[in-house]
A and B are shown apart, each in its own frame.
Chain A
Amino acid sequence: MSTRYFGQRVERNIDPKLLRGEGAYVDDIPLTNALHAAFLRSPVARGKIKRIDVSAARAYPGVAAVYTYADIGPLDRPMPLLIPHPSMKNPKTQRPLARGEVFYVGQTIAMVVAVDRYVAEDAAALIELEIEPFAVEMDMEKAIADDAPLVHADVANNVAAAFVQTSGDPDGAFARAEHVTRITVQVDRSTAAPMECRAVAARWDEISGELTVWDGTQAPISVRGGLASIFELDEDKVRVIAPDVGGGFGQKVLLFYPDELLVPMAAMQLGRPVKYIEDRRENFLGSSQERTQIHTIELAAMKTGEVIGLRDSFLHDTGAFIPYGIAVAQVASTSIAGPYRIPNIWVEFKAVYTPTVQVTPYRGCGRPQACFALERAMDQLAEELGIDRFEIRRRNFIGEKEFPYERAGLLFADGLKVTLDSGQYAKALSLAAAQLDMADFAGEQEKLRADGKYLGLGLACYVEGTGLGPYEGGHIRVHPITGKVYVNTGLSTQGQGHDTVFAQIVADQLGVSPQDVIVVEGDTKAFDWGVATFASRAAVVSGNAIHKTAVTVRGKILQAAANMLEADIDDIELRDSAAWVKGSNRHASLAAIATASNPLRYAFNEAAQAATQFAPASKHDGPPLAEGQAPGIEATDYYSPSQSTWAYGVHAAIVEVDPALCTVKIRKYVCIHDCGNMINPTIVEGQVMGGIAQGIGGALYERLDYMPDGTLSNASLMDFLVPYATEIPPVSVLHLETPSPLNPLGVKGVGEAGCIAVGAVVASGVEDALRPLGDIKLRHVPLTPRMLSDALESVGI
């Protein structure tokens, strides 16, 4: 066999193009004569639209059309509820354009389509709008009270969903516990803030009846299916292309955003291409957000520190609508026991409507919140029992021999029972401790204290259910002219390097270089069976689908080569883009094999001519193409996981706190993680590091600040603090590779890993640092200067 690429740090195929500025993001795609859309968005969180007059906007020079709910025909209806679940009574989704009432600041009320975005914004500002505001309650805990103003008049107590899950016998556990720890924690709202905002462009070809939509989406196939259904077009008349996409992090999964329906509608009606390029302010005001949860968590323990039971009750802020169902809360609830045995669990949540932007998954999807609750509670338990924080975790880890470890009664986002399949949790913790190198810690602490600075150690562990189904596909074809290998799958990439990672898998099977494997995804015309890129599943699901397909293709090549070279199939090896008879120089190029496998080809090129010099690719009596045989070297296959495969990790950090200035600096950050076999360690590290940076954002910087009246006070990158390089410390990332027993490649997902534990680590570290100053508890992230100042004041500093 040729060089093995799986596991290698292969440089990415796509990079030269992107580095030269030749990437094609939606707004880069030249569409002749395109019109541009802008939206009028609600300035009020909750209210009744008394009057809307678009006449001035319609008359503004350069305006092609202005739409309100009254102008969009059958589109004027609530958008799809993507993931139904029995816990939701009367779930609400928004209309593409508000009708009658508005439910959050930023909600789309009217769409202006004009010759350019400048003019469209001018016209939108001319729309006369009168809204009678209603009272709002922004505080979740107050919003569920009986007298709170309702977001939806027919949803009592603003509770969109209520769900309880039980595993084992939590009541029994709490009854016999020797110690119970109870804390309340809060994680505040954030947003994915990808560098490229969302974008949709549509072109309607009225001759062929085909609608083409370019959408910076993570879910092109799902968008295509939805558009075909909603516009009542045949699926094969709708093509959705996710071109180069500038980051997604979950925000670009949701279908539908209003523009994803309205832009194609306008293109079809106006007969010209229409583009909507969301600007940053709109990304803050209209694109999904996530994170707000308040957990009250109890650990029932023995004096040894063994946690025998857990109760968690949490409020999950779902925003004004719940199109994505309870996914985020569900993932949080099923991750609540982390890597620990804790055989008895009671977890309950209420998803609460608030008059804010809707909540759909953002990288982590509820796991950061669950980890924050659990790990803060474990720290508290350790303190109350007088047990070292590392030791108490060691005592509770699921042991290597205990896998697969089931949590009966907890159903993961795929509807299947939570079953942790593999891991070396204790080893990860030991590695973290060793990497921290704490020999001199006490000395360092003393030195810095003289300068008024305080050093602390933070620690947190996490688990991550990854690679959920239902399925993905792979299609591979060897090109008869070039001998290059073309691969398709039903995903799209937003920077994860699919073009290289999938190429590595194929290269290993077919004996080619990854640079000769061309991965084309994100285009429903190229391949249209599949779901989307989200939930850390691409490597597991598409990776294995492509692997299975490649194995089949390998078999076809070997058989054809054996025939052509008149050798035994076991004597054929594949390397350097050719098939070789072992121990000899006799070979046939992949191009020749692919050509010869299509018996109708004329000898119009070298590969075809070469093919005529070999025996026929298909050796048998009868027709050139035997019954059941397909021409060419091509295959399609699918992978459908039986359940999720669970990755995990341990994070630790040394933080420096300056109580006088209320600043926190991370001096050292250590990450031990395990995502099973790694296809490309460099890409894995990139994913982990990116997640850690977002985690640091969530721990110290990023919070969407909604005012009491529902306006978002920091809808800009000036005031919503995405970290720069100066805010991120150097990080040590170490890999453990415990292969997943659940799929042929032994891989687990890693896309979300980095961000899960960071909030807990930082809070843990700052609390540890400030211990000499008093009993300060930090249970709320992100930590702001005000929180630290208040905490210090509470202990008289």
Chain B
Amino acid sequence: MKGKQPGTPDVYGLMAEFHTPHEVVEAAHKVRAAGYSAIDGFSPYPIEELSEALGTHRSALPRIVLGGGIFGLLAGWGLEYWASVIEYPFNIGGRPFNSWPAFIVPAYETTILFAAFGAVLGMLALNGLPEPYHPVFNVPSFALATRDKFFICIEAKDPKFDRVETRRFLETLSGEVHEVDH
């Protein structure tokens, strides 16, 4: 992040460390109440209350999965219809070319297949993964975010962010506040 306008802080943000899930959820409420918006929380396992406290919006994922499912259904059905009716109509035991009851099974499977791909690829896309580099990993103790520690990060791009003031505010919530380098 070089070549930024003068005056902008050259840190990614400030990060506060917590020891219990209750502390981090409580702190998240206070950070939001203080008017910060460019914030994120980190935890070793999903905490519903933390996502809520940080103001996470409804996930777009269900719609992606529905789209994947509908596409899979049409693709599976289309393949069967095209192969059996248009491309190579072939009389097998006097069955109609469009034997739709028999076509249900493969179309059902492709529906699930594409919906599942929608769920996985959609989740990764919405989360911006894979992401080879992220500044939060520059905080040495952040390795514990995948073990037993909880973190809240206020990013420098937040309009209310001030390197000194924000630090002072975070110190009222947590004993350990770290600067996050780019």
A binds B: no
Residues of A bordering B, CB below 8 Å = none
Residues of B bordering A, CB below 8 Å = none
